[in-house]
Amino acid sequence: MLAGRKESKSTNLKRKGLEKALHQIEQAIKRPKPDASESDAAQNIISSLQDLLNRTQDNQLYSETEELSEDADRLHNPHSPHGVDTGDSLSLDDAENPLQLLARASDLQLPPAEVRSFHGRRTLEPSQPAAIPQNNNAEDDSSTAKLFFVPVKANLDLGPDMDPIELGLVTPDEAESLFTFFYQDLAHTRWGLDPVIHTASFVRSQSAFLFTSIMAAAALFLPSAAALSKRLSRHCKSLAQMVITKRFRSVEIVLAFMVNVPWMAHGNYLGDDDTCSYIAMALTIALDLSLNKIVLPSTSFDNGVIRRLSKAECIDAKRAMHMDGFDNVDPNSEWGQRLLRRRERTWIALFVLERGSWEKLHGSPNFSHHARDGPMNSMAALRRNLKVKSSCDNYQVTDAGSEAAQSFRIKTMIESFYDRWYETWGPAIGEELTQGKAYSLPPYVEILVTHTRLSTYGGVINHPTAPLEVKRFFRAAGLSSALNVMRAAIQGESRLKSMPNNTVIMIAFAACSALSLSVVPTDTRSSLAPSVRNLIEETAGVLERIGATPSHRNGASVLYGRYLRQLVRRGSENQSVPRMPTEANLRSPSAFGGCGALPPMSQPSFSPLFWSEPLQFSAMSDGQIIDAVNRAGITFGTGVPDVPLDDLMSWDWLDIGNATDFGF
């Protein structure tokens, strides 16, 4: 007994600062029936804790530096939970966030039953703030404070006034049928869902918004479900407003906002819909629930990644389960692991949709748990920063040799990045064409990859200090990419019946880029221009057919298809009037960021090839299109290279210089 007391005393001596204060609070709470003096002591400890929090903020830089070095040792064994004391008393959960730390301290003060009771009351009347007692009763004041400082937890959007089955909008059998159709025909375009977890019964028990959203999306593509689609879509919109107003939050609500984005009905004009607000709400709720944090112990990241993480970037598995409302589920069980992976999967899907940076997730997760995760992870990896813009920013014209070297370096940077991506993800998600040598990507993924490549080239083309050789080379590469985006859409039409709105925008962007890049002012007789216009006409037809099937879909792609036809007609009319650049159209050397005069250009010794008939780009492979563009002389060596591409754009809504804005 004496030895145990000495060991306890020794352990207490090791505790310092905030950790010591929290330990004292915990011990005080464990004592039965405290008297008045003990209550006063506990209140003094809480006051001391708040003072320490203020000092922590003043020394935040020092604390973060110390924490990084400590976490490297503590996380050497990634299976050690945060709560285990490794002998380092300076590290503390949520030290970077005083509000979270106060809420965590409230975990010790408030019994679990009382926490659940408080959350239940807040769910019933979320928009009514608790009234602060206007009296001098210290006990009531303390109780109110304890009820206020509670940790964030899921607040489910459930109830008979929200459930579509209870409201008579759909029957249980219809719900099961719609869920089956969604996973068979639509889930490949809306990542983040796990069909093993997100069954109709589970989703119904977690979120009326997600339950209705999945069924509404499925009904939108069923020819015989026009009336059902209208009922579910209206209810879905009302649930979205209810979630926002009453501040419901859960992982499934984040997924619900994302499920609604791909096929959202268009407004009266471009951008007149709820896409941005839905993504913003999804991101807000995801951060509230700490979906951006790595769950420890982790089965998705290797030890090397885990060692580099600070405590602020991680969350304990048990705490994550508590936040989601699964306190009775063992995090180490198969079901518990699936529930935890659903958090990580939702976060990755959200940032792929929101053009997020994969760097925020610290590395590539090992999501071999479900085949559907491959395309999602491949797109997340593709969102890495190629640092092309910074390379051009740092470029200075000194001599011809340095320009050639810089040009080669930037070309290699981009090309090697995409080559590595294809080597990694082609075998993982592609369909094998030849024995282990070539793979065909799914049409959605191929469009996304090629569009991202086009965006990369577009940024280099228009950068004011990009080397001239880089601009020439990537105008041809940009045209090839634009043509390949449309080629992939035409060839994959049968597999693109559920084309989401962001893919439609990518295809329309590629069409406008191709129109600009296929003709330059000094070469109005380019042999590729008629072929490009024919390809855009075919692409417009694909968009119109997809958006009008079934008849009640009313997809936005119909409008984009009609718009592309107008652009082709306008482009054809402009081609009939030869335009030569004037001195006023040429960009002066000062426009290139003060880099000085451009070096003289040498004219190529070859002449571009001209075909008697337009090329059928839609029937070619990507390699054949690249070869045709290069043979046609669209390297722009014969053009005026310092005419900005923006001046060639006749359409105001799209600017290739801001191509990354369309990288959903």
CB 290 within 8 A of CB 315: yes
Lowest model confidence (mean pLDDT) among 128-137, 439-448, 583-592: 583-592
pLDDT of residue 590: 34
Distance from C-alpha of 213 to C-alpha of 204, rounded to nearest angstrom: 11
Distance from C-alpha of 97 to C-alpha of 149, rounded to nearest angstrom: 13
Distance from C-alpha of 446 to C-alpha of 192, rounded to nearest angstrom: 19
Token look-up 């979120």 returns 207
The percent of residues in the chain predicted with pLDDT above 90, rounded, is 32
Q: Which residues pair with 412 in a beta bridge?
A: none
Q: In whole numbers, what is the pLDDT of the chain averaged over residues?
A: 72
- CA-derived radius of gyration, the chain: 30
Q: Is the dihedral of CA 480, 486, 492, 498 positive or negative?
A: positive
Lowest model confidence (mean pLDDT) among 446-450, 594-598, 624-628: 594-598
Residue 529 identity (one-letter amino acid): A
Predicted confidence (pLDDT) per residue in 351-372, tens digit: 887 763 333 333 444 444 455 5
Q: Is the dihedral of CA 232, 235, 240, 243 positive or negative?
A: negative
Q: What are phi and psi of 314, to 5 degrees?
A: -125, 160
Mean pLDDT of 296-314: 77
Mean pLDDT of 612-619: 82
Structural tokens at position 410:
């930037």
Distance from C-alpha of 82 to C-alpha of 76, rounded to nearest angstrom: 12
Distance from C-alpha of 214 to C-alpha of 212, rounded to nearest angstrom: 6
Q: What are phi and psi of 396, to 5 degrees?
A: -130, 135
Neighbours of 604 (CB within 10 A): 11
CB 603 within 8 A of CB 638: yes
What's the angle, vertex CA 30, arms to CA 27 and CA 33, rounded to 5? Answer: 120
Q: Which residues pair with 161 in a beta bridge?
A: none
Structural tokens at position 78:
């990634």
Q: Is the pLDDT of residue 581 over 70?
A: no
Distance from C-alpha of 504 to C-alpha of 493, rounded to nearest angstrom: 12
Structural tokens at position 508:
């329309």
CB 181 within 8 A of CB 218: yes
Helices (H), 34-164: 36-58, 60-74, 98-109, 112-124, 138-148
Domain boundaries, the chain: 16-28+40-116, 172-287, 290-380, 385-662
Q: Is the pLDDT of residue 86 over 50?
A: no
DSSP string, 547-599: HTSSTT---THHHHHHHHHHHHHHHHHHHTS-----GGGSPPGGGGTT--PPP
Q: What are phi and psi of 105, to 5 degrees?
A: -65, -30
Q: Is the dihedral of CA 160, 161, 162, 163 positive or negative?
A: positive
DSSP state of 6: H
Token look-up 């020794």 returns 10
Structural tokens at position 166:
């209870």
Q: Which of 298, 296, 333 is nearest to 315 (CA)?
A: 296
Q: What are phi and psi of 173, to 5 degrees?
A: -65, -40
Lowest model confidence (mean pLDDT) among 407-416, 492-501, 557-566: 407-416
Burial of 153 (0-12, 13-18, 19+ CB in 10 A): buried
Burial of 173 (0-12, 13-18, 19+ CB in 10 A): exposed
Mean pLDDT of 483-490: 95
Structural tokens at position 504:
């439609």
Distance from C-alpha of 107 to C-alpha of 114, rounded to nearest angstrom: 10
Lowest model confidence (mean pLDDT) among 144-153, 266-275, 370-379, 411-420: 370-379
Residue 393 identity (one-letter amino acid): D
Model confidence band, residue 242 (pLDDT cutoffs 50, 70, 90): very high
Token look-up 């859960």 returns 250
Q: Is the pLDDT of residue 376 over 90?
A: no
Contacts of 469 (CB under 8 A, 6+ apart): 403, 404, 407
DSSP state of 189: G
Does 427 or 294 have the greater pLDDT score?
294
Token look-up 């490297």 returns 72
Q: What are phi and psi of 453, to 5 degrees?
A: -65, -45
pLDDT of residue 60: 52
The percent of residues in the chain predicted with pLDDT above 70, rounded, is 56
Q: Is the dihedral of CA 232, 235, 241, 246 positive or negative?
A: negative
Lowest model confidence (mean pLDDT) among 142-151, 219-228, 372-381: 372-381
Q: Is the dihedral of CA 221, 222, 223, 228 positive or negative?
A: negative
Distance from C-alpha of 650 to C-alpha of 516, rounded to nearest angstrom: 8
**CA 513, 519, 520, 525: dihedral to nearest 10 degrees?**
180
Lowest model confidence (mean pLDDT) among 5-19, 173-187, 229-243: 5-19
122, 361, 415, 495, 620 from 380: Cα distances, Å: 37, 10, 18, 22, 28
* Greatest alpha-carbon span in the chain: 101
Structural tokens at position 126:
């979320």
What's the angle, vertex CA 493, arms to CA 454 and CA 457, rounded to 5? Answer: 0
Q: Is the pLDDT of residue 248 over 50?
A: yes
